[in-house]
Structure 1
Amino acid sequence: MSKKIIRRAAIVFTLMGLVGLTGTLVAPSAQASQMGTLATCNATWYGAEGEIPEGWPTASGEPFSRWALKAAHNSLPFGTRVKVTYQGRSVTVTINDRGGFGGATCLDLTYGAFIQIANPDLGVIPVQYEILP
């Protein structure tokens, strides 16, 4: 892994508050139980009918299902459980994929997860997310 990628990852984790007082990286779930909501950002959805074949491997190797309560995030470890809230409605998803997001978008929810909290016609919604233990 290049030094540039490592440096960028360190900056992201620092900004997310995942670096402990000693300056060492701690597991997100351990820190999250103390921190509560970690971020407010935009969330999108993926998995429109016919977009990705059912069973296609995600970045984690887990088979894709558009109805699963899953999400993609650029840096959270696979298996991290995240509570995503939009206008008082929440869904708990598990990170199993990566995404190429830009700007303030940080989560890409599966279609099944997105429809639990919003109308998919919205496309992009502002959410709060909290890493669960």
Structure 2
Amino acid sequence: MTLMNRLNLHRRAVIAATLVAGIGTAAVLTLARPAEASVSPIGTMATCQASWYGAVGEIPEGWPTASGEPFHRMALKAAHNSFPFGTRVKVTYGSKSVIVTINDRGGFGGARCLDLTYGAFIELANPDLGVINVQYQVL
């Protein structure tokens, strides 16, 4: 076998291994999504931490969210990792509540599950708090 044939064989093996690894990862990610979406069925109350986004100049007004809907910092909207777009969620902090619609996705960690627009967050608390512990109910 010539050196060129060995190099081509090696390249094909690397490409094949990469494709198999990629397909395996995609399958695992695809299988994980439905389980996440069923965490909070309609009507169930849960507790998590909520943060906010949409400081002046952070995201341009009208910029498309993950759902394709234009971003507006004062809109009563929120980002969640797995709730379907359009899901309405009642978010409560102390004695204050706001109903938001999920129209975006976010990368959250730990107990933080909601990222509220600035407009939604100020209905509940002072934005200087940054992160608050909330109760939420999927409507």
CA displacement, residues 59-100 of structure 1 (integer Å, 9 cap, x when unaligned): 000000000000000000000000000112100000000001
Distance 2:33 2:112 in 1: 17
Residue in 1 aligned with 2:87?
Answer: 80
Distance 1:4 1:93 in 2: 31
Distance 2:70 2:34 in 1: 29
Secondary structure of residue in 1 paired with 2:133: strand
Distance 1:96 1:109 in 2: 10
Identity %: 68
Unaligned 5+ segments in structure 2 are 1-22
TM norm structure 1? 0.81
Report the aligned-residue RMSD. Answer: 1.5
Pair 1:17–1:129, CA change in 2 (3 A): closer
Secondary structure of residue in 2 paired with 1:4: helix
Q: How far 1:17 sits from its partner (Å)?
A: 4.9
Matched, 1:50 2:74: no
Pair 1:121–1:85, CA change in 2 (3 A): same
Q: How far 1:3 sits from its partner (Å)?
A: 1.8
Q: How far 1:57 sits from its partner (Å)?
A: 0.3
TM norm structure 2? 0.78
Q: How far 1:7 sits from its partner (Å)?
A: 2.7
What is the number of equivalent residue pairs in this alignment? 115
Distance 2:65 2:95 in 1: 29
Unaligned 5+ segments in structure 1 are 19-31
What letter corresponds to residue 108 of structure 1 in structure 2? Answer: D
Distance 1:95 1:110 in 2: 10
Q: How far 1:13 sits from its partner (Å)?
A: 3.5
| Contact 2:81-2:107 within 8 A present in 1 as well | yes
- Between Structure 1 and Structure 2, the one with more helix by share is 2
Residue in 2 aligned with 1:95?
Answer: 102
Secondary structure of residue in 2 paired with 1:85: strand
